[in-house]
Structure 1
Amino acid sequence: MTTTTTTETPVLTATGVTMRFGGLTAVRAVDLSVHPHEIVGLIGPNGAGKTTFFNCLTGLYVPTSGKVAYKNTTLPPKPHLVAKAGIARTFQNIRLFANMTVLENVLVGHHTRTKEGLFAALLRGPAFHRAEKASTQRAQELLEFTGLTPKADHLARNLPYGEQRKLEIARALAGDPGLLLLDEPTAGMNPQETRATQQLVFAIRDQGTAVLVIEHDMRFIFNLCDRVAVLVQGEKLTEGTTDAVQADERVIAAYLGTPFEGAPGADEIAEVEAAEAAETAGAAENAETATPPDTVARPEDNQ
């Protein structure tokens, strides 16, 4: 692990981020920063608001209050503008273009860094071909970086599960982000795949991209991160080094299911989850292109 240089301008600053669905509060006044060359973990029990917070950071949700800034510039709540600014993300459920090749998937991720518009594409002049060549070269570099070069011409749907995860990360990196958000990158992985993912995240950090990661695998988180923040019932319970967080009795109690004062009941939690699902569906419908990414399931999920 590296030592965080806290005097550097944070790549991410979230201030007072709150997200309400009607009268239900899923995230309440959460502050969080991520500095360059840092890996930060975001953990918490199921229903703690972690993915909702991620959605607020990436423009999928418009926060009820608070602001999100990238390198001290407040971000507009639009996913494509957040990506263009320098923040990329992956999803808990893999979302790839299943019928496109591995190389084509990564090329799609690079489109936020190309300047050629529809007119240039139609004319297919020298500038277009130079941009196309540069995009292909960058995509090939990322396939080499993630170990997917031998699978460049394979359809995404035919990759093993662990390689699908790698491909989603490669596609996110194709936009050359300064900050990468990973939503449960080891979900469903076996121990070997999890170790490979850990090494890949270290390599991403070493190349200069800061990382914010949600994960339920505590061993993975505590072996990976420089700093960890804990969400409980939508609020930040604590934040600190991995040693400090592991020793915090409040964190232990939260994971053991010990109720806090004012803890929501099962019915209230279900209401929040339903509201989140409805909000996500509406946002996705507005954000999708004419050919939306598919959710690629692990092969055994279809059995």
Structure 2
Amino acid sequence: MTTDTTTKDTPVTTTPGNPVLEARGVTMRFGGLTAVRGVDLTVNSGEIVGLIGPNGAGKTTFFNCLTGLYVPTEGEVRYQGQVLPPKSFKVTAAGVARTFQNIRLFANMTVLENVLVGRHTRTKEGFWSAVLRGPGFHRAEAASKARAMELLEFVGLAHKAEHLSRNLPYGEQRKLEIARALASEPGLLLLDEPTAGMNPQETRATEELVFAIRDMGIAVLVIEHDMRFIFNLCDRVAVLVQGEKLIEGDSATVQGDERVVAAYLGEPFEGAPGDEEVAEVESAEAAHEQADAAPAEAEPVDAAPADAAPTDAAPTDAPTETPADTPAEATTDAAPGKENDR
């Protein structure tokens, strides 16, 4: 058995301007419904690319296809010329990291421990090394901790390394999720609505953080609804409408396209699907997401069955809030009022 305890700290490097991510003809169907249809997208090294579109446009579904959470029905996704495997942990190991629309932190772990979780793809300990905890194991552990602290310093959370992640303000939880993604030393970072629920000051800080990540040599693909943020940030912007790429170009080109304006105002344009078709796609995506998440995620202890009918005979002393001892390892939800855009 191996006793290798090497820690790979060096991120994957690319020649500036070369394609990092290439998605070709990506299509995702749920039964007979098509959520993403024939989308092509390229992200080059040293580049920040935005992905925008109305609610239900298929942006998060497309992200899930890129990161191995979904296996595309058609098309392929390549990272640095290699087809990505249809497993999320293998995609991360290849050099693609992401954050989620709904924050997913380990609530009962410290800030430092959350970042150390992200180091697992770059740290390799053999069985006997882990059992015996020899000098090699401790060297690897110390190297991972040092790198995690560097990343916390980078996002401005080093002073809260020993705090529980659940006690962080919302904006700092977003930063922590980015730090955890960076811990896997990616060549490409995918951010799913990183400023959702933030005030203008927090949004500006996030913008500066993304620029700093780009300056580290990491390409960035970002979904966002804040148009001022996305157009200030991105070199190129692609627009999805009902699962299809409508247009791609610089900020001025996208903002001046009448079809983009119509899509955001809810005005129909030639070839646009009707409301019923859009609703069916959204429902199918939600069902697929729940089916995948059901075995892995804890449900609130006071949740009623989904098909339970309301009744007037419910006891007046029935609990109305989640008990305080609900398992804290359940994933952290997004900001109040934030809809789950698929």
Give yes or no for TM over 0.5: yes
Q: What residue number does 2:29 align with?
A: 20
Q: Which residue of 2 aligns with 1:39?
A: 48
- Counterpart of 1:214 (choices 223, 239, 244) is 223
Cα offset for 1:23? 0.7
Distance in 2 (CA, whole Å) between partners of 1:126 and 1:161 is: 39
Match of 1:225 in 2: 234
Q: Is 1:73 paired with 2:69? A: no
Moved >4 Å (runs of 4+): 285-289, 298-301
**Whose Rg is larger?**
2
CA contact (8 A) 2:107 2:166 kept: yes
Distance 1:129 1:100 in 2: 21
Give yes or no for the alignment of 1:84 onto 2:120: no
Residue 250 of structure 1: how far off its partner (Å): 1.3
Give the whole-Å Cα distance in 2 for the aligned partners of 1:81 and 1:220: 31
Structure 1 residue 11: Cα displacement: 0.9
| Secondary structure of the corresponding residue to residue 38 of structure 2 | strand
1:264 corresponds, among 246, 267, 273, to 273
Gaps of 5+ in 2: 1-13, 299-326, 338-342
Matched to 1:294, the amino acid is A
Q: Residue type of the partner of 1:178? A: G
Aligned match of 1:187 in 187, 190, 196? 196
Larger fraction in helix: 1
Alignment check: 8 A CA contact 2:297 2:330 kept: no
Deviation at 1:288, TM superposition (A): 7.2
User: What per-residue deviation string (whole Å, max 9, x for no partner) do you get for residues 111-154 of structure 1?
Assistant: 11111144432221222111111110010000000000111110
Mapped to 2, the partners of 1:276 and 1:229 lie a distance apart of 21
Unaligned runs of 5+ in 1: none
Displacement of 1:279: 1.9
Output the CA distance in 2 between the equivalents of 1:67 and 1:218. Answer: 29
Structure 1 299/247 Cα, relative in aligned 2: closer, same or farther at 3 Å?
A: closer
Asked if the contact 1:60–1:283 (Cα under 8 Å) also holds between the matched residues in 2, the reply is no
Q: How many residues are aligned here? A: 296
Cα distance, 1:283–1:147 mapped onto 2, change above 3 Å: same
| CA-atom RMSD in angstroms | 2.1
Change (3 A) 1:286 1:178: farther
User: In the TM superposition, what are the counterparts of 1:197-208 in structure 2 within 5 Å?
Assistant: 197-208=206-217
| Kept after mapping to 2: 8 A contact 1:146/1:170 | yes
Distance 2:187 2:195 in 1: 22
Q: 1:234 aligned to 243, 248, 253, which one?
A: 243
Query: Matches of 2:290 and 2:51 in 1, distance apart?
Result: 24
Specify the SS of the correspondent of 1:46: coil
Q: Cα distance, 1:286 vs. partner?
A: 6.6
Secondary structure of 1:77's counterpart equals coil
Using structure 2 for the length normalisation, give the TM-score: 0.82
